[in-house]
Structure formats: structure tokens, C-alpha cells
Structure 1
Amino acid sequence: MAGTMAAGLGLALFSAITSSLAHALLKSGDDKLVVQAWIRMTEFVLAAPIALWIGLPPANLWPWLIAAMAIHAIYQLALAWSYAMSDFTAAYPIARGFTPIFTALLGIAFLGDRIDEFVLLGIGIVSAGILCLAGNRAISRAGLVAAACTGLLTTCYTLVDAKGVRAAPDMLTFITWFFLLDSISMPLALFARSGRKSFGFLARDMKPGMLAGIMAPISFAPALFALGMAPVGVVAAVRESSIVFGLALGAMVLKERLSRLRIGGALLVTLGTLTVIARSAFA
């Protein structure tokens, strides 16, 4: 059990590091919906051969796959909206950081996860750091609403993903078919919005789109595996350390300004994340 928990924590931390890279690439594209479409098309190319090898999922898994596909599609649209309205260093921490404490509590209530008081304290510190970041004036009211909606949807899809991974005969079946079904929504949304012009937009944002398309599955697949190994609240909190990497990337690559409040919030997130990892790994 301890080995499984440690493996889950390691996968969640790896997901945090790579997630910040994927989100930075999404923000760097001229059209966020186009980059989202590139990500989903890349997912299809990667998942289709594995799905053919695995075969169809069992009937009891389809409701969770469909629910996951729907929630992720709404989340991806909200994410593109959020990043179109605000600086990466403002929108990314809020979008990723509203989720830890709510995910932990809902995981206890609906999934039967067991989390002790010290881990909950660490998750609370992560959320406190997010509140510091949310209090920064660099983000508009509309941008804050967009980022908060994205964070709420992150909580929803995390719980659904965890239930799907745990209900599957094996984790690879859910993850592969999730990526395959998830590849449909964003290309359809792009063509519904832009019609034939979509091809030109895809060509224009090919570089960031393909790079983000490679990084997104590398980031999210380990998180899905982690949800089958550790409580959802623990996985969510560790993944939010991506905020720290995201702030650093925003400052160094996207040349966005970091205030003292953002730096202080990032330090709180780091402290909370280390508390969660230490207590979960050695309890």
C-alpha cells in the first residue's frame, strides 16, 4: 500500500512539472482554441493504436467515459477563455489552484478516500497560497471569474476521472479510451467556429500546437494513473505544485511580471505540497 501511494505521489509530481509546460505552450499560441484542437488531434494519433490493441471497454465503463469526455470538453473551452483574457501567471494559478481542498473533501464524501488531518492541513495551505495569488490585482474581475470556473471544472473532472480509473478492469483501458473520445470535441468546436478558415489557423499555430499536443498526454496520463493509486485530494494538491513551475515559466519564457504577493503565494503552495507529500509517503 505504501509503495502504491509513493508511486502515485511520484506520478502526480511528474504531472505537475509537465503540466506547467503544456499550459505555457497553450498560452503561447495566437488562438487558444486552435492549440486545443492540435492537442486533441495528437491525442487521437497516440491513443488510436492502443485502443485497437485493447479492444472495446466494458459496458459499465461507458457512462464514466462519456461523463469524462463531456466535462473535459467544457473545461477545455473554459481554459481557452481564461487564458485569452488574462496573463498566464494570473490565470494559471487560479485555474489550477481552486481545486485542492474541494477535491479532497468531495473525494472523502463520494469516493470513500481516507485522508488524515495533517494531509488536510497541507491541502489547506495549498489553497491559502492560491487565495494569495487570487488577491493580486493583475487579473480583471472577468478574468478571475473565467479562471475560477476553470478551477471548479477541474474539481469535477478530477472526481469523474478517479471514479472511471477505479471502475475500469485496468487503468490503461480507461486512460486510452478517454484520450480517444476526448480528441473529438475541440476540433469540432474549432470547425464550428471558423469553418474552412480552420485549416489556415491550424497551419499558423502548428508549432505551439504540436508541442502542446505532445506535452499534454505526457502530463495528464500520469495524473490519471495516480488517481488509481492515491486519494484524489492528495493527487490534486501535489499537481497544484505546477503553479510554482507555471509562475517560473511565465516569468522566464513569457516575460510576465511576478509580484511579491505571487511569490509569497507560490511559497505557500510549495510548503503545502511538501507537507502533503511527506505525510502521505511516510504515514
Structure 2
Amino acid sequence: MSLGILLAVLGAAFLHAGWNALIKTGGDKQTGMLMLTLGHAAIGAVGVALRPLPAPEVWPWLIGSGLIHMAYQLFLAYAYEHGDLSRVYPIARGTAPLIVTLVGAVVLADTVSVTEYIGIFVLGLGIMAMARGVFSSGESRRMLPFALGAAVATAGYSLVDGSGARLSGDAVAYVGWLLILSAVFYVPVILALRGRRVLRATPRGWGLGLAASAASYTAYAVVVWAMTQAPIALVTALRETSILFAVLIGWVLFGEPMGRGKLVAAGLVVSGVILTRL
């Protein structure tokens, strides 16, 4: 991997942690997520404007993924309402590859290597240590089910999109329609849950949400490009440094507590993820 690609992937990892920080820093987390979702839909509409419609057999995958993305957005925003960025992000981001690896080994008949088994063990230790910190530090325990729900949703759409995009044969159109559908599903659900007040965002709130959508899309595009230039395993492992970026952002910008236990747990999560991706 060249230095340029290395820096690009690290930048994408920072952007991924950054858009989560933008959602966390807003007043109403679901309002911020709504702004992000609408921004995604606008980007998706541009992406599909000049492309043919997906084949009929692709739509069940798109609809399923859109529903899972809706759940992910709800869970993640709720988690940030109750927990720190430096606590929620590692749990949500670290648990997902653990689930994907285990489910892939059972459902997809993928071969799990010794290194991946070690990674699963290390990941499990890190996630348990990070979750234990919620109880020992006096933080709100309500964030745990939401963070874990976001992780399950992440694992779900990762498995669905992998199959759906391959069936589609047009990754750009697939992602574009996915972004549109996630907005189609998320907007009425959040309006039903929160009412019209979720639309009452300040100009700053709109700005944060739209900036988050741009950062999210850019991070994804950079990673996809990097995978065409360097080994996929190296790119996917390197992008998990976003966990460390999120921990640092939470500590430096938000003044979140940063004890030795949280640092060790974050290090274990990152190490475990990297081992499962190599």
C-alpha cells in the first residue's frame, strides 16, 4: 500500500468518526440523523439519475437493506442521546465485524482462520471491557441496548448489501437507491415517534446534519476507491482506526472521561477488528 492510499484511508476513517461526532454534538440527535438521511437521499438521487433501474430481483435486497439502515439510524441516534461518543462508537463499530464473522462462518460457510478466531476473542474482550465501563463509571446504562442494536443493524446491512450489490452488478446505482430508500423509510418513522418537532432544526443543526452526510458519503467513496488500488483486507483493517479517532474526538472536543480502562478496551476492540479483517 502506497503512502498516498494509506493517508487517504486514514482520512476516511477520521471522516467516519467525524460524522458520528457531528450527530453527537447536535441538540436533538434524531434531528441530526434526519438531516444526514435527507442529505444522503439527495446524493443518492444524483447517483441514480442517469442509470437504469435495478433489475426486479435486486429490489428485495434494496428494500431489506433500506429497512435495516432505518433501524441503524434510529438505534445510533438513541445511543448518542444516552452515551458518550467514546463509549458508543467502539461498541457499535466493534461488535458489527464480530457478528459478521460469526454469522458468515455459520450461514455463508466461510472458512474462519486461526487469526480470525484470535481476533474474535480479542474483540469480545474489548467489547465486554467497554460495556463493563458503563456500569463502573456511572454512565447511563440505557445506551447499551441501542449501541448493540446499531451494531446488529450494521452487521445486517453489511451482509445484505454484499449480496445485493453483487446481484445488481452496478454498485453506484445500488448505493444510490439504498440511500434514497433509507430516507423513505426513516422519515415517516421518526415523524411518528417524535412528531413535527424533529423538523425544527436551527440553521446550525441543518448545517451539522448536511456536513455529516457529506463526510459520511466521502468516507465511503474513498474507502471503495482505495479497495480498487490496494488489498481489500488491508483497507478494511486500516479503516477501523476510526474507533481510535472517535475515542480521541470524544476526549479532546467533548471532554469525555478517558480512564485507563476505556483506552485499553478501545485498543482491544481495534486490535480484534484488525485481526478479523487480515
Would the TM-score normalized by the shorter structure come out above 0.5? yes
Percent identical across equivalent pairs?
Answer: 29
Counterpart of 1:141 in 2: which secondary structure? coil
Preserved CA contact (<8 Å) 1:34 1:202: no
Separation in structure 1 between the aligned mates of residue 131 and residue 243 of structure 2, nearest angstrom: 12
Range with bigger deviation, 20-29 or 42-51: 42-51
The answer to whether 1:160 aligns with 2:157 is: no
TM-score (norm 2): 0.83
- What amino acid sits opposite 2:251 in the alignment? A
Alignment of 1:124-203 (within 5 A): 124-136=121-133, 137-138=136-137, 139-193=139-193, 195-201=195-201, 203=203
TM-aligned CA distance change 1:218 to 1:273, over 3 Å:
same
Separation in structure 2 between the aligned mates of residue 11 and residue 113 of structure 1, nearest angstrom: 30
Separation in structure 2 between the aligned mates of residue 120 and residue 58 of structure 1, nearest angstrom: 38
> Could you report, residue by residue, the CA deviation over 1:49-89 in whole angstroms, capped at 9, with x for unpaired residues?
22011120111110100000001101111111111011222
The answer to whether 1:47 aligns with 2:44 is: yes
Range with bigger deviation, 99-108 or 79-88: 99-108
TM-aligned CA distance change 1:133 to 1:194, over 3 Å:
closer
The structure 1 residue matched to 2:68, chosen from 49, 66, 71, is 71
The structure 1 residue matched to 2:78, chosen from 64, 76, 81, is 81
Range with bigger deviation, 262-271 or 248-257: 262-271
TM-aligned CA distance change 1:14 to 1:63, over 3 Å:
farther
Residues matched between the structures, number: 269
- What amino acid sits opposite 1:176 in the alignment? G
Preserved CA contact (<8 Å) 1:71 1:157: yes
Across the aligned residues of Structure 1 and Structure 2, the Cα RMSD in angstroms comes to: 3.0
The structure 2 residue matched to 1:21, chosen from 2, 18, 34, is 18
Q: Which residue of 2 aligns with 1:250?
A: 250
- What amino acid sits opposite 1:102 in the alignment? I
Preserved CA contact (<8 Å) 2:48 2:172: no
- TM-fit CA distance, 1:18: 2.3
Separation in structure 1 between the aligned mates of residue 61 and residue 9 of structure 2, nearest angstrom: 21
Separation in structure 2 between the aligned mates of residue 147 and residue 16 of structure 1, nearest angstrom: 19
- TM-fit CA distance, 1:199: 4.3
Unpaired runs of at least 5, structure 2: none
TM-score (norm 1): 0.82
Preserved CA contact (<8 Å) 1:175 1:221: no
Preserved CA contact (<8 Å) 1:165 1:171: yes
Separation in structure 2 between the aligned mates of residue 112 and residue 221 of structure 1, nearest angstrom: 29
Unpaired runs of at least 5, structure 1: none
The answer to whether 1:267 aligns with 2:275 is: no
- What amino acid sits opposite 2:245 in the alignment? F
- What amino acid sits opposite 2:29 in the alignment? K
